[in-house]
A and B are shown apart, each in its own frame.
Chain A
Amino acid sequence: MSHSQRTKVTNIIIFIALAIGAIVMIAPLLWMLSTSVKEKQDVFALPPVWIPEVFQFSKYKEIWEAGPLLSGIKNSVIVAVSVTVVGTFTSSVAAFAFAKLRFPHKNKLFLLLIASMMIPYPTVMIPQFMMFSKLGWVDTLLPLIVPGLFGNVVMIFFLRQYLLSVPDAIIEAAKIDGSSYFRLYSSITFPLIKPAVAAQLILWFMGIWNDYLAPIIYLNSPETQTLQLVIANFNATYAIQTDYPLIMAASIVALLPVLIIFLIFQKQIIESVAISGVKG
């Protein structure tokens, strides 16, 4: 067998292996989807039914009555949108200052921020909880929103690195022209870093949307809970009744928004993750 033939055969074998792997990876999620449109008795059928004879979409109607799903979505949107919009603004402005402006102790302050990433959330969550409880903010969305408004260190770090590759000359020239510092950021720097900002924003949005630990600490009453808590409660409540189609339908609804965002922006997201990871 010639060299190129051998490569071809190897590639076919690898393709098959990757395809089997991909099926295994996606199977649990497909099963989740298939269960959500099944009749209750089909769920327990042996051998398993992957494609039900009749598609039952009734569970997708029922979930809105079965728990505070709609308010969960609303709460998650409020938290994720307010944090990412305001937080991206503060983060990108700070990244601009760290990369392009001159002021004393700049690098020390930047290092301090980076060093703070070493402190994991579980070590600060107890005093943070007490702090917010003194303010009377427990069982409101504020403890989930307010800290994020001050910016995100990972994003600052990433955007600063990105900005370092933007030539100073453009900014210097605008500075001489008497452009204000905020305009330097908003009309010169920001357009240049837009793709990086967008990718980071999406990643952050997904992180907040999927967050579980902070919401479970702060939110008790059903109407203030975020989507992740609502579906976790679905699971706790309806598993006893073995109403799995209902649970799975609710879970699909929780999954769908980020899945759609991912499929639209997958190229940027994958690139952004690859860059930040390898350089990290």
Chain B
Amino acid sequence: MIITKQKPFEEIAEELSGYDRVFLVGCSLCATACKTGGEEEVKAMKEKLEAVGKTVTGTVVLDPVCNLQKSRRDLRKFSQEISQSDAVLCMACGNGLQTLAEILEDLPIFPANDTLFLGEIKRFGVFEERCIQCGKCLLTSGVGLCPISRCPKGMVNGPCGGAKDGFCEANPEMKCIWLEIYEKLKKMGRLDEFRKIIPPLDHSLRVKPGKYSFRRGVVNDVPSKAS
């Protein structure tokens, strides 16, 4: 799930200053779950924009925005509303925004949300990052706790010197993930896994922007010149 957070309305209004006729786009998946771009939020945004004197030319919640061909098709039904608009306000993630930009080439498109991370829904309204998409899943010794995404320093060989009373140096409210890994391995009787030296990550496996196709595989997987 892509976790988003709505920008303060003042910021959105500031972005849209000079654009009077706005078309709103929400998203049925992640942004709906995050309460940043579902039917309800799009409706509320419409009212807020109208309250500050904007004309909302139309609204749609795409299913989902990031599916390029499908969104292109679905937006055709709104071609009249869109043609009457000065700008689009995208209530999806940063990815959805760029999908829209690819479809609606000539219109300025503004983000209503800040895209935070790829995360898990802990419970209603609570989200936590669980993956930074580094390009190659570490075999985390079967403990299922990834230090690349869950340690601020991305330590691969154990905790840093900053873990205090079991809590993280950078984020004192969070338990050190390496201590959790240690405890879990110890409980499983597999502490030898912790003794293995993990070499530095291979960042050539993940060159931005990511590109992958079933047919060609990972397209930006730069072959390493080094042996």
Indicate, yes or no, whether A interacts with B: no
List the interface of chain B (C-beta within 8 A of A): none
